[in-house]
A = this chain, B = another copy of it.
């Protein structure tokens, strides 16, 4: 047996559900579906109940205990009727559950030890006629169940665990990685786990696949996989350039030297404040952190806002003349925009270029504005007027304190900043962040692909 096969066999020992796990899940799902059908009968409504998701397709990784059940109502129902009925059925099936909201509300709860999502949707004729994104799921289910053999399903589990191990699994907006459905389509498309890695090793993004050869739109994404059930949708739209590169990197590394620990990496050791201080000292950089209470948002709203806020802060600092070495944003109970800078203090003056002398009134206006001002100049640099005027903000901390409201921030972050409900930490003082973000700081100061 090759080293590759040997490692894969050992990983399968860990990720394939056991026969008893399969049997128990199948039986529990059967009872759950029956219960939903009973509830529908109680309400005198006709609707299909359908188990979907990885546990319906045999592609779940051992230990996952999620069952997704979709209730497909007649498309003539109004949205309000659908929501009311969906929640009524959901609450009856999962009496200890609670309501959540994606595009419309559904019920989440536990059933015989499984985590269950009970989602109402419309029974449309084709995925192209969907009224909301959830209507599409049953079509995915049908498409995959028809095509995924047991061997392919086993390879899907391998690829999922591989992507989890490298931090690229999940289509949430924090990860911007590979969804379960995308993983299944890639295994189908290339024919197996090894084939996906071999292909990814040599990808030259943009990489485009259209399994049903029916694409009806073009996409500007690094990875494009046209949904077999919807010619206008890229299943990989959320996958970032960096996650594509990450898969390529680890595919190459694994094919070259197959190792089980790629699938199951050790958790990082959290840094403590002294570690943070010593890293900053070793790097000879300056640190700035903006900390506030994390706004009460779901991750898919929170992380895009933090990303936007981090970029806004970085651009603002750069525009003000600071050189940013690297930056990050983290959230837990608090949220942090973290920026590492090449220098903490800028000169007291800043260069301000005026127009070329030959542009008449503009040039005269510039000269007259500054002629008697408290600046150096105006003088000539080549054909332009230049002055060196007093700089507003000389320190990164000063920028974060006085000018943060002027940069592009996420909506909720902007409100927090406007209210002044944030704290600015500088240099060695950022070490205190290790108390909440020790692992994030470990990843920051010991970065791997």
Indicate if the CB atoms of B449 and A379 lie closer than 8 Å. Answer: yes
Q: Say yes or no: A204-B358 contact (C-beta < 8 A), given A284-B347, A321-B342, A347-B285.
A: yes
Contact between B252 and A377, CB atoms less than 8 A apart: no
Instruction: Quote the shortest CB–CB distance from A231 to chain B (angstroms).
Output: 27
Q: A242-B380, A367-B249 are in contact. Are A347 and B342 (CB under 8 A)?
A: yes
How far, in whole Å, are A404 and B383 apart by their CA atoms in the complex? 29
Return the contact of A449 from the options B241, B358, B378 (Cβ within 8 A).
B378
A349 contacts the other chain (Cβ, under 8 Å)? Answer: yes
Which one of A3-11, A213-221, A440-448 contacts B? Answer: A440-448
- Which of B222, B323, B377 sits near A383, CB closer than 8 Å? B222
Scan residues 240-291 of chain A and give those whose CB is less than 8 A from a CB of chain B: 240-242, 244-246, 248-249, 252, 282-285
A382 at the interface (CB under 8 A from B): yes
Copies in the complex: 2
User: A residues 391-449 with Cβ under 8 Å of B?
Assistant: 394, 445-449
Contact between chains at A205 and B246 (CB < 8 Å) = no
A129 at interface (Cβ–Cβ under 8 A)?
A: no
Please, how many angstroms separate the alpha-carbon atoms of A203 and B367 in the complex? 17
Do residues A382 and B446 form an inter-chain contact, with CB atoms below 8 A? no
For the side of the interface on A, what is the size category? Answer: 35 or more
Q: Which residue in B252, B343, B346, B447 is a CB contact (below 8 Å) of A376? A: B447
Q: Is A202 at the interface (CB under 8 A from chain B)?
A: yes
Q: Is A44 an interface residue (CB 8 A)?
A: no
Quote the shortest CB–CB distance from A380 to chain B (angstroms).
5
Given contacts A379-B449, A383-B222, contact A364 B321 (CB under 8 A): no
A142 sits at the interface (CB 8 A): no
Tell whether, in the assembled complex, residue B245 and residue A383 are in contact, meaning their CB atoms are under 8 Å apart: yes
Q: A205-B358, A376-B446, A445-B376 are in contact. Are A245 and B382 (CB under 8 A)?
A: yes
A360 touches B202 (CB 8 A): yes
Q: Is A299 an interface residue (CB 8 A)?
A: no
Interface residues of A (CB under 8 A from B): 202-205, 222, 240-242, 244-246, 248-249, 252, 282-285, 321, 323, 325-326, 342-343, 345-349, 351, 356-358, 360, 364, 367, 376-385, 388, 394, 445-449
